[in-house]
Every structure is written in C-alpha cells, then in structure tokens.
Amino acid sequence: MGNRVPTLEDVAREAGVSRATVSRVVNGVRNVSPDIQRSVRDAIARTGYTPNQAARSLVTRRTGAAALVLSATDGAFAARVFSDPFFGRVVDGVLPVLRERAIQPVLLVAESERARTQLVEYLRRGGADGALVVPLDDADPLPAMLAAAGLPTVLFGRPRDGERYGFVDLDNDAGARLAAEHLWATGRRRPATIAAPVTAPAAAARLDGFRRALAARGVTDVPVVRGRFTVDSGRRAMAELLRDHPDVDAVFAANDLMAEGACQYLRERGVDVPGRVAVVGFDDSAAARRSHPRLTTVRQPVEHMAAALAGLLVEELEGLRPAPASRVFEPVLVVRESA
C-alpha cells in the first residue's frame, strides 16, 4: 500500500470478509464469530489499520475511554496519594485490562465539592464511558453523583448499605481475624491496634474483625489509637500506645505504612520487635518488605483486585452484565520477621 493509509476495505480483503464484517468487529458488535474476529484482528495488525475514533464514536456512542477516579473529602488527598503505594498498585492492575480492550485510561482526581461537580459534568459530556472509583472516604458522595448522571460506575471497596454499584473488595474482617489469631497463637496476650481513620472505607471491618477474634478468646479490652495510613501517624500512634499502655506486647496496624512507622518508633526506643512487641500490618505492600524487621502482614492482592475492577466495568460497557456485579477477595497472612 506504500504510504497510503490502510482502510476498512484493505482489512476486508486481507481477512477475506466483507467491509461490513470488519466494521462490526472494529465497533465491538457482538454477533460475529470468534474465529472471524480473530481473522479480522490479525488482518488489522498486518495492514496497520487504525480505526477512526471519531467515526467509531458516532456508531457506538462510546468514547473508548474509562476514567480512573481518585476521590477524597478530607483535604489530605495529595499527601495520601503520593505516599501510599496502594494507588500505584491500583493503576498497575487496571491498565493491562483496559489496554487489552483498546480503552484509554483517563486519570481524574476529586478532592473537593467543586472538583466532584466538575468531574461529573466532564464525564456526562462524554469525557469517558464509565468510571472506576477509588474512594478514600466511606461517605464520599461521588459514586452516587456518577450513578445519578447515568454513568456506569464500579467501586474499589464495598458501597454503603442501600447503594447499588459494581464493586471489588477484600474480606477485611477476615483479614483482621487472621492477624488476631496469629498474634494469639504466638503467645501475645496484651494486643493493641493502630486503626484506620474512622471515615476510611475499610476502617470498621478491620477494627471489628480484630476485636471480635480477640473477644472470642477472652480479650475484651483492646487499646485503639487511630492513624492516617502514613508512616508518621504510625510512629505517633505507637508512641501513644507505649505511653498509655506500657505492657502492650503486640500491635496490629490497619496498613503497612502505619506498621512500618510503629516499628521505626519501637526500634528507636530500644524495644525489640518481635521479642518485646510483635507488629502485624495490612496490605503486603512494598512497605512490608522494606520495614526493619520485615513485616508480617495480611496480603491484599491489590493488582488482581484492580484488574477485576476494570473487568467489571468493561463487561458492563459491553452489555455482558445488565446489573451491578461484585467480587470479594480472600486475604492471606504473610508471616515474616515482625511477628
């Protein structure tokens, strides 16, 4: 074809099918056999054909983009996003799924009421076909705003009672129970916890699961100090626990960054970990492996969860799931040196 731009007709000749069939494959119409779809896609690769996105959008009424939305309501958005490896892991999980379907990710942030309003209006006007929302606040109004605007919406984390969205989540209660059971099995009888902020989506489940598992073993007085998912807040919480409860012999932190901070403070105070105080984190992030000692932690498979998140949205956009769907992952305890 020389320097000529490949056309649908070129692809059709290469694949041995009609132009209309190529058009149906390019536009994602589902009444085409898998074998023919493969032949057309192979022909597209050989010819170098690139669909005209503007024309395709007129046919499908889709933009070919999906919004990955990071949303907060407490004003601490930037500090959390750039310090917590969780968000990078979400992106790593989402991108391959979207790219496989030729869907472009659009990263959007919403840290205020005005930003949320602008974001919804942008999407409503065709900025993207749907939204993958990672809320930092259990009372975040953004998911309801997106749903009211008629935009397909899938959440990372369980929605509040009475709200119906697709979502992926971890069984956080079970993860906290794993931490409590491990500490009990290793002889710890005076445990405490560095809990998540009260508004965090998983805060209640992780705290309640830890408490219930210990209550079943006769421990009903569990000291609680709340952190903010950061290393510094973990250090401050550990200092408060040692000051007010000097006999504490174990700490469960609601994420690895706070557990890392607790270990730092204990080490600086000359308190042996795990000999004097055992520490268990949550997430199994990079922080768990860089901490000294390396953290025993509850694994949250964030990348796999994020891939499932993107998959649920793709299925909704392609009409494969008429109703909101969910997937809940099981946690795993990873035992290292800190407990």
* Separation in Å, CA 58 to CA 30, 53, 61, 64, 157: 17, 9, 5, 11, 34
Question: Residue 74's pLDDT band (boundaries 50, 70, 90)?
Answer: low
What is the percent of the chain where pLDDT is above 90? 47
List pLDDT tens digits, range 148-194. 888 888 999 888 766 678 899 999 999 999 999 999 999 999 999 99
Across residues 270-296, what is the average pLDDT? 95
CA angle 10, 15, 20 (to 5 degrees): 70
pTM of the model: 0.77
Select the highest-mean-pLDDT range: 45-54, 90-99, 129-138, 204-213.
204-213
| 8 A C-beta contact, residue 159 and residue 309 | no
Peptide linkage before 274 cis (omega within 30 of 0): yes
List pLDDT tens digits, range 29-44. 667 788 888 888 888 8
* Separation in Å, CA 207 to CA 22, 220, 231: 54, 13, 19
Checking if the pLDDT of 55 tops 50, the result is no
Q: Give the separation between CA 100 and CA 117, rounded to whole angstroms.
A: 31
DSSP state of 80: H
19-23, 152-156, 194-198, 285-289: segment of lowest average pLDDT: 19-23
